[in-house]
Structure 1
């Protein structure tokens, strides 16, 4: 398995070597079974000689499970506690790191529209998976998910009906393309890539739980260096900066919701 991860890194520059090993092991075993390889060595050989195999394996190694306004109390805290601070800036940059299929991106775009901040904001939606970025850019989700999205939006303090932002078609709900007019979609790896802009808000939720301690520290250092002074960082419900080498660079802003504010150490 380690040789397979090395091959992915050397051949395609995707680095999963410091992802949480239990999660990687489980996902690679699932890929081996469903892609009908007898061994990891056979999977490695196919990967090295067939570039189309990369996207298939990335689908297993990257986590693409999300929903709009996931953990509504988090977005309610963004709306009620963070937005008043963001209003003081003439322009804003927001980074959704590990944007997956775009559910969280659309959540922020809707929230910022409802709060009157959309016109002064540029959103950066990044992921290492080209398929995920393509899904996010389309903004189409299956209809059976919309009821859950709607309930989350309401619990997150939504000021309108979620149905105002989508129409039905293509067998799903198609979210208004104007929500993505101020979005930059880009391939970016928290493992290997560097700071690319100065941000006022970074949201990276339920990504760090798949990293080992070394990689978590690298990502948090990247976020620290990307934030303006007093900028905000949002993490997932099971994530924390408490044991990070960069903990002194952040203060608890909304402890329960895992929202932190950058400070000078």
Structure 2
């Protein structure tokens, strides 16, 4: 059995997941990569080395958490779980489909909670760590992101409560990036961020902060200014943030009206 500690990383084939995997590898971790795309996972394992493994599962499947936990146990047991998988579509609430609504809540909140439950025994046995990848929108309600915000607010609350509950047994941390330059943000969202003056961080910047949080004694870390400031202000004086964001609403509505008109004209 390898002496290297094992990290389980979900969303491993995504923009952040790939960079997280390489940073963990560089820091000496063995990896169990989790995602839906079997071919992409196999290519990553071939690149990273034979001591690493992958499992192709849909985390929305009720059986997936137990399957992941079983494979991790067969590899000697995990010392780190990174709940990184996530989905988002920026859209008016009334324009969402029921399937989109359910998927966002399932992938972003229910699945990491269930995977944490399935992995808890081995993480506790190894005095391990859980890092939940949230969002700045887990502390700031933003228009056209209502369900995504709901899922990330929930993940932040879950992380905070579990960190306090498992104190001294398992370390639970929460990382809240702002918008990242990955495929989760499509061209429409990128254009809107530009109109609003929002900065998007490259995955390498997020990975730097992820590793810094992992190695620290801190339980939570928010990224970017003014996002960190607004998150704190929203917690203390949400009515002040109401006004600031509502001022942006006309720009957001106009942007999506233009995008809708463009699609209708095709």
Query: What TM-score results when the alignment is normalised by the length of structure 1?
Result: 0.33
Q: Which has the higher strand share?
A: 1
Query: What TM-score results when the alignment is normalised by the length of structure 2?
Result: 0.33
